[in-house]
Structure 1
């Protein structure tokens, strides 16, 4: 059986995304679909939302029930779309939704290195890119047990605490520095050091151990 990774990402600043804008001004947007128009360099998209939009602008309402309104829009290709950015690597976006201006999307990759390449590229063009969840399919018997650790989940202070503790041998065996000594290097109290360290370790362990 092949081993693959299901990646769920969030993008807080998706630039010119029409769907994200609507979700910020009205309600969560679900069931987003997109299709290309052959030869026209144009993308047609549709999405459903629970509220009727007051100002449709360039959106066309194509279907409506009491609690489900479907809108259609079109735009030129290659205009800074998050989905097209991901799909330029050959990975179709399988699920797309938006809430409070944040895009949530899902796609599949074959390995961790491919995922790392896409995430690094997204972060070079968009702000607020975070890895929400990774799910790996059942690996082959000889597959390596690889884990993608999202360091961006750490705050600047948590990363500084980890780096300083590592630099001064706090994690060495036997330890080269104790908590009091590392805290002194950081100019914080021992209890504050312990608090930041515990929070950082929990985030990293969540990445490593969550299936």
Structure 2
């Protein structure tokens, strides 16, 4: 059994991926899920951004993108589409990288993930070396595998953890607040009252653990 797991972060400049080019063109940051390869060789892309008609129009006009779907909650948009363009991230995945987060910004793309074992790392690095503009920014032993998941470590229920994580990602806790309780509730697919109840119960659990 392989016990070593390494966290890695790659930086891609001048990425020709449709999402990367759209982010640079309109100056909007995009947070994406790892692409899901379908049997027809298309990748299913799911991603989010602040609400931007310019971004939507740019993607809608891109011939490499098909079946673009947009849902909006408050000041944020959630996108789903298909792409057959051979993106850099797909090259790294094929080399063995387990992608966890993708962030497209005007100054470049950040790909964070993990590799299991040094031999897999060599395969990923070989794939990265054959791709123009890809650099390894960070690599370090992954400590989280030896830790409990957040919901177990802090005695949160899975629903409370999801509620807190989504609220944080959407900017609910920032000052000034970037979203509303209604928007977060819509993103979670629950009512506003259910969201606020989970939020308060989750906060109570965290505060009790911190100040106990």
TM-score (norm 1): 0.55
Cα distance in 2 for residues equivalent to 1:89 and 1:120: 8
1:132 equivalent in alignment to 2:141: no
Structure with the largest fraction of helix: 2
Unaligned runs of 5+ in 1: 139-211
Cα distance in 2 for residues equivalent to 1:102 and 1:19: 11
Q: Which runs of 4+ in 1 moved over 3 A?
A: 111-114
Contact 1:30 1:48 in 2 (8 A): yes
Partner of 1:158: none
Contact 2:51 2:72 in 1 (8 A): no
Larger Rg: 1
Contact 1:20 1:101 in 2 (8 A): no
- Equivalences for 1:18-167 in 2 at 5 Å? 18-26=18-26, 27-38=28-39, 40-54=40-54, 55=57, 56-58=60-62, 60-76=68-84, 79-100=85-106, 102-127=108-133, 129-137=134-142
Partner of 2:188: none
Cα distance in 2 for residues equivalent to 1:35 and 1:4: 22
Aligned residues: 133
Matched residue of 1:85: which SS? helix
Matched residue of 1:126: which SS? coil
